[in-house]
Chains A and B, each alone.
Chain A
């Protein structure tokens, strides 16, 4: 049974760095073809893909946020960490981590965490 859970601060101040941890079980991030991604959703708005890390440590980032994001994994701890620098109130959102599987042409997100709401305010 695959489960994922996000953890991190619920409130950060503008200009601070956000660090979120995704702790998962039921799979290994060293298994070929597996990835873990981060997706966010501002209140009342659409989903936005942020980053994806693969079993071989390949990393992909949203082009619009690439300069602010870093994704890393600790396979032994079954964790993936996302950092986002220079936080702004527009970054207020629910942040989800998700297990990613390759379809026939690209990856999709087949298991999701419950999400964690992060507010950015002074």
Chain B
């Protein structure tokens, strides 16, 4: 059971906007620790999509954006495309566990 809670799945039609929530607590996101997001396409290694809450690495389309507020964070995908169908994970640090934590992942399905 992860300390970061994500919805198991979200779906949307091509072109739509979807959001994925990542809910933590006062010992991780609420303590001010960065949230990072990873995309894992089927059969491949994860790839960083957003780092430090709202920063995109070079090469990541601006359709992807991140935000953090209080004890939660969100990843938004606008203009959903078929190639966005993947699993998405949030990651942060937890000071009560003294360790790095991942969410349980959210599967995005493009209808």
B52 at the interface (CB under 8 A from A): yes
Please name all residues of chain B whose beta carbon is closer than 8 Å to the beta carbon of A26 when the two chains form the complex.
Answer: none
A112 to B38, CA, bound (A): 11
The reply to whether B45 and A112 contact each other, CB–CB distance below 8 Å, is yes
The segment from B18-26, B70-78, B86-94 found at the interface with A is B86-94
| Contact across chains for A108 and B46 when beta carbons are under 8 A apart | no
Instruction: Tell me what chain A mostly uses at the interface: helix, strand, loop, or mixed.
Output: strand
Whether the pair A105, B32 counts as a contact (CB closer than 8 A) is: yes
In the A-B complex, the 4 residue pairs with the smallest Cβ-Cβ separation, listed nearest first, are A103-B52, A106-B93, A108-B36, A112-B45
Q: Hey, which bits of chain A sit against chain B, CB under 8 A?
A: 37, 39, 46-49, 52, 60-63, 96, 101, 103-110, 112-115
Binding site for A on B (CB under 8 A): 2, 32-34, 36, 38, 40, 45-48, 51-53, 55, 57, 89, 91-93, 97-105
Listed A/B pairs (6) with beta-carbon separation below 8 Å = A46-B89, A47-B46, A49-B101, A101-B51, A105-B93, A106-B33
